[in-house]
Amino acid sequence: MNTPPIVTPQEWEQARQELLVKEKELTRARDALAAQRRRMPWTAVEKPYEFVGPDGRASLLDLFEGRRQLIVYRAFFEPGVNGWPDHACIGCSLMADQVAHLAHLHARDTSLIFASRAPQADVQRMTARMGWEIPWYTITDGFDADFGVGEWHGTNAFLRDGDRIYRTYFVNDRGDEGMGTTWGYLDITALGRQEEWEDSPEGYPQTPPYRWWRYHDAEGARG
């Protein structure tokens, strides 16, 4: 292993400060990209999609659970996928392991679900064994093929206006690596983090930072 040089604390701090300049440039570029993402056009979802969940059949609209935004990760757990029937795809499983507590997305009026083609009995057995509390639905129609996740994993973001649903963003391949944190998910949504410092179109919902943050065990936090 060819290690970096060993230096004094002062030299180390100088190197850190030099790197910090580039890191801050990356942060600003990431914020600018998210602002551009919030200005992407939307496309209407016209077809009626149907899923099966722990409580039975559900439409795409039902998956919002009354919230304004929905994020759907297409996970591969089904016959023919490596790991079946005990596990989902190893990459999808890693993704599920890193998902933050959903109370924080809910605080921004956003739902997150996973969807695959495994029957619900298998889904519930597997998620209980793995300790995952992410809502996990079964795809029953062409949803995966229609939204770019028929052959590979990916994350779609949707927004609803009443009963009208719009697809607002999609990310897959290595772009999925940034998913899992509350911030990563909110940054791919049409409304973003919804904080006052963000560069968002006029009229978008925004509140001061910190005000909406919560302890996930607080009363009403799971709402």
pLDDT digits over 167-217, tens only? 999 999 998 888 999 999 999 999 999 999 999 999 999 999 999 999 999
Is pLDDT of 223 > 80?
A: no
Third-level CATH fold of 46-181: Glutaredoxin (3.40.30)
CA distances from 123 to 6, 54, 131 (A): 50, 9, 12
SS3 26: helix
Does this model's pTM top 0.85? My answer is yes
Model pLDDT for residues 120-159, shown as the tens digit of each residue: 999 999 999 999 999 999 999 999 999 999 999 999 999 9
Model pLDDT for residues 43-71, shown as the tens digit of each residue: 999 999 999 999 999 999 999 999 999 99
Is pLDDT of 221 > 80?
A: no
Contact residues for 145 (Cβ-Cβ < 8 A; gap 6+): none
Residues paired with 44 in a beta bridge = 166
Residue 222 banded pLDDT, cuts 50, 70, 90 = low
For residues 38 and 192, the answer to whether their CB atoms sit within 8 Å is yes
Residue 168: predicted pLDDT: 98
Which alpha helices (H) appear in 57-100, and where do they start and end?
60-63, 90-97
C-alpha to C-alpha distance for 208 and 118, rounded to whole angstroms? 41
Is pLDDT of 40 > 90?
A: yes
C-alpha to C-alpha distance for 70 and 89, rounded to whole angstroms? 23
Which alpha helices (H) appear in 39-156, and where do they start and end?
60-63, 90-97, 103-106, 120-130, 143-146
Q: Burial of 43 by CB count in 10 Å (0-12 exposed, 13-18 middle, 19+ buried)? A: exposed
Residue 219 banded pLDDT, cuts 50, 70, 90 = confident
End-to-end Cα, the chain, rounded Å: 50
